[in-house]
């Protein structure tokens, strides 16, 4: 082992210890916030405390621990909100401490529906989103994009890669590219390369970039695949073809040809069959279903979006999703029933 290799090994020990220490501190901190939220909630619910007592508590903590930040009146009520949002939810409580407090504040302040909060918590842990990326995923409504209809994949893809459907989305938000409405395929391709890191984050976990305009030779002819990635979890190459128009059935034939070329000439012995993704501006789901039903290639069709939907549309879509996931609560709100949070506040008064 060279001296530099030895140094790198030592540095890896230090880095591992730092990560472990951070996780331990984060776990202890969130456990404390949970306990404080529960305690304050019980005091307020029993009318033993009023809201003004929380002000006194914040002042007392500031006097006892001068210079220690994070225990203002506002933050103490955030701890209460943290506890009230997730108590009794075993699915989520097991992973709460795996996210920093800043992530939880983002989710609590911007997401209302219970199932939507659960989605962002679990996905942020799974995909290791930074707070900036989490904010972008919430802003682009990743929850709605994940749930809007069945994914359009070929039967062969499901047979060869049973887990593949979990790794891909129905639509991808590319608003960070800043493209005009009349952008060309060359514009889209160039912008994706300039923002490759953000595009990979949008694609999801385990995607590694292999090449752009990836060359394959068949017979005496040369062909170029728009983008090629490798998916570590699925252990296969992923060919991405870009279309700045609506999906057409003939697009699938070209993608099938590329996948055959990749599997014959580029795939390693230990790798599994390649997957193809047609990333289109729009798609007619019925046309896609017909095209994929007889396809012998592991392929799927997805949309991309270069602009965010209007706030009005987002609110309407979220209401539709919420009514599907929790119809009883929506029905009670329509009948004039007071929301749980409003009830809790009125009780404190």
Phi, psi for 339 (deg, rounded to 5): -60, 155
- 114 Cβ neighbours under 8 A, 6+ residues apart: 85, 89, 326
CA-CA distance, 94 to 303, in Å (whole number)?
34
DSSP string, 5-58: HHHHHHHHHHHHHHHHHHHHHHHHHHHHHHHHHHHHHHHHHTTSS-HHHHHHHH
CA-CA distance, 262 to 112, in Å (whole number)?
45
Q: pTM here?
A: 0.60
Contact between 288 and 247 (Cβ < 8 Å): yes
Phi, psi for 50 (deg, rounded to 5): -105, 175
- 214 Cβ neighbours under 8 A, 6+ residues apart: 224, 225, 226, 227, 228, 239
Position 43 scores a pLDDT of: 92
Tens place of pLDDT for every residue, the chain, 349 residues? 677 777 677 778 777 777 777 778 888 999 999 999 999 999 999 888 888 899 999 999 999 998 888 899 999 999 999 999 998 877 677 789 899 999 999 999 999 888 788 888 888 888 889 999 999 889 887 887 666 556 678 889 989 998 888 889 888 989 889 899 889 999 999 999 999 999 999 998 899 999 999 999 999 999 999 999 999 999 999 999 999 999 999 999 999 999 999 999 999 999 999 999 999 998 888 899 899 988 888 999 998 988 765 566 555 554 554 454 445 544 444 444 333 333 344 444 3
Contact between 300 and 151 (Cβ < 8 Å): yes
Position 7 scores a pLDDT of: 65
Contact between 72 and 58 (Cβ < 8 Å): yes
Phi, psi for 87 (deg, rounded to 5): -65, 140
Contact between 161 and 272 (Cβ < 8 Å): yes
Task: Give the residue among 284, 235, 226 at the shortest CA–CA distance from 254.
Answer: 226
CA-CA distance, 346 to 336, in Å (whole number)?
16
CA-CA distance, 44 to 84, in Å (whole number)?
12
Position 333 scores a pLDDT of: 45
Pairing of strands 299-305, 221-231: unpaired
């Amino acid at each position: 082992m060279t001296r530099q290799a030895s140094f790198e090994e030592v540095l890896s020990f230090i880095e591992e210890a730092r990560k472990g220490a951070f996780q331990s501190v984060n776990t202890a901190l969130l456990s404390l916030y949970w306990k404080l939220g529960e305690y304050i909630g019980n005091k307020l619910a029993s009318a033993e405390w009023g809201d003004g007592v929380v002000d006194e508590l914040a002042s007392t903590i500031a006097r006892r621990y001068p210079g220690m930040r994070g225990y203002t009146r506002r933050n103490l009520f955030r701890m209460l909100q943290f506890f009230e949002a997730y108590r009794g939810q075993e699915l989520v409580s097991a992973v709460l401490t795996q996210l920093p407090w800043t992530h939880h504040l983002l989710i609590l302040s911007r997401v209302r529906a219970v199932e939507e909060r659960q989605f962002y918590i679990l996905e942020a842990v799974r995909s290791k989103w930074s707070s900036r990326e989490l904010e972008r995923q919430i802003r682009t409504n990743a929850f709605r994009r994940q749930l809007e209809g069945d994914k359009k994949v070929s039967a062969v893809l499901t047979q060869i890669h049973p887990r593949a459907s979990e790794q891909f989305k129905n639509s991808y938000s590319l608003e960070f590219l800043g493209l005009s409405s009349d952008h060309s395929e060359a514009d889209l391709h160039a912008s994706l390369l300039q923002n490759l890191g953000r595009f990979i984050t949008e694609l999801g976990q385990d995607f590694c970039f292999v090449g752009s305009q990836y060359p394959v030779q068949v017979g005496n002819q040369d062909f170029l695949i728009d983008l090629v990635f490798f998916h570590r979890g699925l252990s296969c190459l992923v060919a991405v073809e870009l279309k700045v128009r609506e999906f057409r059935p003939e697009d699938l034939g070209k993608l099938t040809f590329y996948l055959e070329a990749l599997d014959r000439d580029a795939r390693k012995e230990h790798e599994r069959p390649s997957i193809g993704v047609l990333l289109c501006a729009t798609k007619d789901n019925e046309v896609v279903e017909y095209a994929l039903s007889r396809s012998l290639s592991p392929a799927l069709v997805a949309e991309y979006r270069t602009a965010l939907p209007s706030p009005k549309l987002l609110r309407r879509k979220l209401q539709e999703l919420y009514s599907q996931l929790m119809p009883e609560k929506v029905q009670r709100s329509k009948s004039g029933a007071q929301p749980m949070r409003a009830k809790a506040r009125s009780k404190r008064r």
